[in-house]
Amino acid sequence: MASHEISKGRLIFAAILAIYVYGSIALLLGTVLPAVARQFNLNDSQSGWLPLANATGLIISSLTIGPIIDKRGKKTGLVGGLAGILLALLGLAAAPSYELVLFSLVVLGLGGGMIVTGANALVSDLDAERRASTLNLLNLFFGLGGMTTPFLAANVLKITNAATICYLLAGLVAFTFLVHLTTAMPPPSGAGSSVGAGYSHLLATPAFYFLALQLFLYVGVEVGTSTWLTKYLTDPSGPVKLSDSVANNILSFGFAGGILVGRVAVSRLFRALAEWKVTLGASLAIAVMTWGWLQAGSQVAVMVVVFCAGLAMAPMFPTVLAMVGNTFTQNAAQAMGTVITIGWFGFLIIPPLIGNVGGNLSTGLLLIPACAVIMALTNLGLRGTAKISTSS
């Protein structure tokens, strides 16, 4: 289609749907894991391979899809990713064996990585002057999608098997696929540059290393919190000793709710502050709040501090991607995909470390505020390394 036929509103709608879909599948495994384990009689060791399979797909696709998007256009990545997710959901729903479940989860990760990179790259290019605000608002819908799947499964549909929720999400993905298939999108932005040249520029830019380290640490902090918070709060030997239902509500409505509210509120900050200043303040607040919920001794105190931790984490992921977009104006999707890939390694490394250091969970959880302090230091390194903001 000709460029004059491209509708900015339609592009934003398509990107919102894609991010919402990714949010919906991001918590799918946690939602259906008990049912899958019962269906295939999986022990804890076998169950542990399932998230690893999903993360492997995310890493592979995030690393490879950027150059493809720069060469072929964002529509290629988005349509391809949605098609992969649709096939993976149908495979999970009808899987006759544990091996096919593993394969489907790899494909689900491949598709997920493609649409995360594609949707963020698409919106990043729509408004360069307000890139950070726009990406924060876009990623609000990731949070909404993440809350939707477990909420519907547990409270509305009363779903007790994996197939039903997979078929339901497949319907949403099929609709989103059709929207993207029929939406005119901008042409490739990096057609004149080779993949090798893109990586050479990336690796020669000091800001890349600070941005990659920051996303690595942040993803580990967020996933570490969402993975271990409920277990910590329900530990009979811990300081709070909450029930499972209360702890899960704190995780959902406190932590996830804080992220949702924060992404709406933070978009206004970029009118007055540079992106690195926002992430510096957020990193320091994360360090304080994640240390604070380890000191809280009551349900109300934990709820307040966890909500504030979610508020502090809200701007980190989309704002780091905005800084990537500001720094790498050519082959932007390649740069964004590479940084996101390094972020997924934080997913793989930091949460397991929390459970395996210090001899007890309370000690291991101190890694979260420690990582947040290092995140703050990376912001000082970012200052002046590249064009990372339109404001000083």
**Residue 129 predicted with pLDDT over 80:** no
Of 143-147, 213-217, 269-273, the least confident? 269-273
For residues 256-280, give the mean pLDDT: 82
Residues 6+ apart with CB under 8 A from 10: 183, 184
Instruction: Report yes or no: 293 and 305 within 8 Å, Cβ to Cβ.
Output: yes
* 192: exposed, middle or buried (Cβ count in 10 Å: 0-12, 13-18, 19+): exposed
Domains 3-192 and 198-382 are alike in CATH topology: yes
Residues 6+ apart with CB under 8 A from 93: 162, 163, 166, 167, 170
For residues 185-207, give the mean pLDDT: 72
Of 78-82, 121-125, 151-155, the least confident? 151-155
**Residue 93 predicted with pLDDT over 50:** yes
Residues 6+ apart with CB under 8 A from 370: 287
**Residue 84 predicted with pLDDT over 50:** yes
Q: How far is CA 10 from CA 15, 40, 162, 219, in A?
A: 9, 42, 33, 30
Q: Which of 367, 273, 328 is nearest to 70 (CA)?
A: 328
**Residue 1 predicted with pLDDT over 70:** no
In this predicted structure, what is the pLDDT of residue 133?
82
3-state SS assignment for residue 15? helix
Q: Which of 219, 210, 182 is nearest to 58 (CA)?
A: 219
In this predicted structure, what is the pLDDT of residue 274?
81
In this predicted structure, what is the pLDDT of residue 155?
65
Tokens at 109, concatenated: 């990760």
Average pLDDT, the chain: 84
Domain ranges of the chain: 3-192, 198-382
In this predicted structure, what is the pLDDT of residue 140?
84
For residues 342-347, give the mean pLDDT: 88
**Residue 127 predicted with pLDDT over 80:** no
**Residue 384 predicted with pLDDT over 80:** no
**Residue 281 predicted with pLDDT over 90:** yes
In this predicted structure, what is the pLDDT of residue 392?
36
Q: Which of 62, 92, 91, 106 is nearest to 335 (CA)?
A: 62
**Residue 376 predicted with pLDDT over 50:** yes
Query: What class has domain 198-382?
Result: mainly alpha
Residues 6+ apart with CB under 8 A from 385: 205, 206, 207, 210
Query: pLDDT tier at 188 (50, 70, 90 boundaries)?
Result: confident
Where does 3-192 sit in CATH, by number? 1.20.1250.20
